[in-house]
Structure 1
Amino acid sequence: MRVFVTGASGWIGSATVDELLAAGHEVVGLARSDTSAASLDAKGAQVRRGDLDDLDSIREGAATADAVIHLANKHDFNNPAVSSQAERAAVQAIGDALTGSGRPFLLASGVVGLAQDRPATEDDRSPFHGPESPRGGSENLALEYVDRGVHTVSVRFAPTVHGDGDHGFIAILVALAREKGIAGYVGDGTNRWPAIHRSDAARITRLGLEKAPAGTLLHAVSEEGVPTREIAEAIGRGLGVPAVSIAPQDAQSHFGWIGRFFGMDCPTSSARTQELLGWAPSGPSLAQVLDTGSYFRS
């Protein structure tokens, strides 16, 4: 298939492009910079210039592809409304371009907030609707296009997609621990974060493109929930600093914006995803990657 990928040079997107090319697919990657374009070109992917705000380029990329994988996100955590608005507009542009075609449209979503007091499953519908909700309610918006002849599949990624070179949540926690001289966790640290290695996240995305029926909700999760105290202790070992409990009321001041997430308990199952796709995790666990020391290089 000729696959149009937004976020093609990003953390998950670049691994997904590699996975698609290795499986024999043709890839057209959206690139907003010369550096991103050169990286895609070097891999053998085609380049479409544009960014998340360039809706004309996104529409044309979707209209001329056999399938779309939408992984781009502004990730503006200090002004989440900006990210949410851009995400919703991009999803609508892609959905409109694919309406009536029956072509696959995979989009990135998340697992946080799907369930309380139990592991979330693929049966749990997103509670986020409308442009003012997290991610602009993009998952539910995209799924509405199933009734309009679009083969929508939502890939819900764990909050921690780890690996060598990660600049996401774990890298931010490492930077905070280095700055403050302690590796913090919230309360007793029994709240759990799902995790997946970057290679497994890319593989699920590719398999979802090839195998998942329209309307499917996939969970890109290999570890159902790693206690945050264990994460902090591993960071502490890596930096040679103590792991310390942070009172819940102090989480925001200690961690900044990431404190809103790090104190949440969001265990998530991927049992149905594994069965549907014939997939099993093969990448290293979060603890194994932390023990390699890759997150602690200066």
Structure 2
Amino acid sequence: MQIFLTGATGTVGRAVLARLLERGHGVTALVRSPESGARVRAAGARAVSGDIREPRAWIEEARAAGTLVHMAASFDADAVQAERRLVAALKDLPADTARPFHLVYTGGVWLYPAGRPAPLRESVPFAPLPAFAHVANAIHSLLSLRHIALSVIHPTLVCAADGGPIADMREAAETGTPFVTRAGLDTLWPLVDADDLADLYVRAVEARRFRLSAFGCGIEAVPVSTLLRLVSDHLGLRLDLAHAMPDAAAADMDAEAGYALSQRVSSAQAEKLLGWRPRLRSPEALVEALLPVTG
């Protein structure tokens, strides 16, 4: 298959790019800088210069590929307009009822409510934080486009060796500073390994379903206190939590507010519909895999 990929140099995007190439797919990646282009080409993909805020400049490249995997996102002042422009550009694509254009779109667990006793499932109505409302609106608009085969992946908190809450905890422990977050010790975080999540994206690409919504969740829920203890014990270093206060004046762009949500998430739909089997399914296994201790 030919794939057009945005966000190819991000934490998950890099893993998705590598997995697509391993599977033999051809990938064209949108890049903003010469440095990003060099990294993409070194990985084995083709690079196209452009900006996610100006999709009409590159949407024909995506249409020629037949599948767009949209992983780039911003939560700045331009975010709302960028998603509206993307939806408008996709709306204007020529309709092909025999083979609809395939879009694999990135939603997120913070589009969903917190505090439910049962694990969240994809059928639960959106209740997005203000900073994520434009993403929910974009999904609703995309669902109305019958010439688009839409697959939406909703990642939970993504963890990698070089990014995400576990890596941030490690940095705090090694520098002797508290781990600063909006969460409390009892807040429940659903987690997923970046490589496991990349496998889910590639499965969604290859399945090419007309309408799909799936959580990317390897670990249903873990209390922040447990994660802190596991990282601290694994490293043999002290690790304390410091609670960060929100900036009420910037609520519309406050993506960090999601860390305060206490959520429990089911991966049943991704497993049933796509055969996804995340490798790392316990917080102990995740910490062990991402924080190898040397010496």
TM-score range, shorter chain: 0.7 to 0.9
In the alignment, residue 13 of structure 2 is paired with which amino acid? G
In the alignment, is residue 224 of structure 1 matched against residue 220 of structure 2? yes
State how far apart, in whole Å, the 1-side matches of 2:129 and 2:84 are: 11
Counterpart of 1:252?
246
Q: What is the aligned counterpart of 1:157 among 155, 158, 167? A: 155
Counterpart of 1:123?
123
8 Å Cα contact 2:183-2:261 kept in structure 1 = no
8 Å Cα contact 2:112-2:128 kept in structure 1 = no
CA shift at 1:245, angstroms? Answer: 7.3
Q: TM-score, normalised on structure 1?
A: 0.81
Distance change (3 Å), C-alpha of 1:177 and 1:242? closer
State how far apart, in whole Å, the 1-side matches of 2:242 and 2:40 are: 43
8 Å Cα contact 2:27-2:46 kept in structure 1 = yes
1:34-81, CA deviations, whole angstroms, 9 ceiling, x for partnerless residues?
11111111222111111212323331222211211110112x4xx4x4
State how far apart, in whole Å, the 1-side matches of 2:150 and 2:183 are: 39
CA shift at 1:164, angstroms? Answer: 1.5
In the alignment, residue 103 of structure 1 is paired with which amino acid? F
State how far apart, in whole Å, the 2-side matches of 1:97 and 1:120 are: 34
Counterpart of 1:197?
193
Counterpart of 1:273?
270
Where does structure 2 lack aligned partners over 5 or more consecutive residues?
none
1:6-58, CA deviations, whole angstroms, 9 ceiling, x for partnerless residues?
11121111111111111121111111111111111122211111121232333
In the alignment, residue 217 of structure 1 is paired with which amino acid? S
Identity %: 22
Q: TM-score, normalised on structure 2?
A: 0.82
In the alignment, is residue 37 of structure 1 matched against residue 31 of structure 2? no
SS in 2 for 1:165: coil
Alignment of 1:46-195 (within 5 A): 46-74=46-74, 76=75, 79=76, 81-97=77-93, 99-100=95-96, 102-116=100-114, 117=116, 118-127=118-127, 133-135=133-135, 137-145=137-145, 147=146, 149-158=147-156, 160-166=157-163, 168-172=164-168, 181-183=177-179, 189-195=185-191
Distance change (3 Å), C-alpha of 1:99 and 1:162? farther
Alignment of 1:13-28 (within 5 A): 13-28=13-28
In the alignment, residue 106 of structure 1 is paired with which amino acid? V
Bigger shift: residues 212-221 or 84-93: 84-93
Distance change (3 Å), C-alpha of 1:9 and 1:99? farther
Bigger shift: residues 285-294 or 129-138: 129-138
State how far apart, in whole Å, the 2-side matches of 1:152 and 1:134 are: 17
SS in 2 for 1:205: helix
Distance change (3 Å), C-alpha of 1:94 and 1:11? farther
CA shift at 1:129, angstroms? Answer: 11
State how far apart, in whole Å, the 1-side matches of 2:57 and 2:5 are: 12
Q: What's the RMSD between the two structures over aligned residues? A: 3.3
In the alignment, is residue 240 of structure 1 matched against residue 234 of structure 2? no
State how far apart, in whole Å, the 2-side matches of 1:258 and 1:129 are: 8
Distance change (3 Å), C-alpha of 1:197 and 1:242? closer
Distance change (3 Å), C-alpha of 1:187 and 1:140? closer
Distance change (3 Å), C-alpha of 1:72 and 1:95? farther
Distance change (3 Å), C-alpha of 1:291 and 1:203? closer
SS in 1 for 2:123: coil
